[in-house]
Structure 1
């Protein structure tokens, strides 16, 4: 298998490969899509006030989507916290002396989700802490559901795009290894619309559990521990 994380590939290395009549048709290939979740312990090095200052306007943070009601904690999914990587196995077809074509035999595509969870350092163990942890867990569970629902969509996108590419080349023997990376970049670019849509769906879904009613229900069991629920917008 030959793989890369698209974030590590220099844009200057991207060239255009192309299918040629000299190359065989793209044969049958396998696609495997995996979802890997990496949870970590809560980060507690900021106070509730500092969390509000840091995340209240950050739309990658659940605190922003919930209207700043849950001030004692926030989840954060930004940058590489949700990323994709592709690993491709190729078939090499010798078509003439010193020339070869490449076709795909298998695609391994991995979505990695590594959310950060913040809880205010001033939130002591007890009712408010437990409610905050439960609230943040719902954010993460919803992300997990949305991403899992997106796995078959990404698989179909990969199948369709690779089928449409056909075998690539022919290339000089000295170019074959570099062209493998180029083809993988093309595959990632080819499914970019579906990836962006999945990322948007994940972020947008957070609003469904951050309603005023949700906040009031969460905080009702801890009278006086949270801001006045009636102030929830």
Structure 2
């Protein structure tokens, strides 16, 4: 079942509420709209607020049947802890299929964790529109407006891969790497950081790094993997065509 969000102090079905707590990336024009329900009584933090989720789940608060986690501080964006809470039904955590966007962007690799596969998007496969170059007449590919912000992710991910090859990845904080990996997975899934580390797939440093590399759709994937010491992990990365 899809997870639930609780936004302390928020009211009304206003998408800005998600932007205010740093979850604006969950909203996409090509995705289903979330459902909102005001909670007049005490939520998981003891205050009133708003429940948010996506169909087929219902925005209801039943603490005796749900598991709740307080949002951690976000040092990358300087956001405070507790700005939202994320919950799921006890014994029924959300699966990749339940969190997937209607249009999944495919790539070379998937992350496997606890028997589930998470498709890592290739940033080179962003949906594009075509235009004609006025000077040459050649066709130009430009990301569609709803994906325009993601062009910056290409440069950032490629920079991290380059830094890793030069052996300087230690100079990039793990928090920045993790934030970037979550951002990439949000292309394909309604992912929040607390779920990524507790339920997968970003449960160790290797899975974070492999997400960044795979998103570049880089032929350097095998070279980089060989240069890095294998990490003991319950996570694995497999080619997108591998069903093992």
TM range, normalised to the smaller chain? under 0.3
**Higher helix proportion, which one?**
1
- The normalised TM-score by structure 2 is 0.21
Q: Which has the higher contact order (CA 8 A, sep 6+)?
A: 1
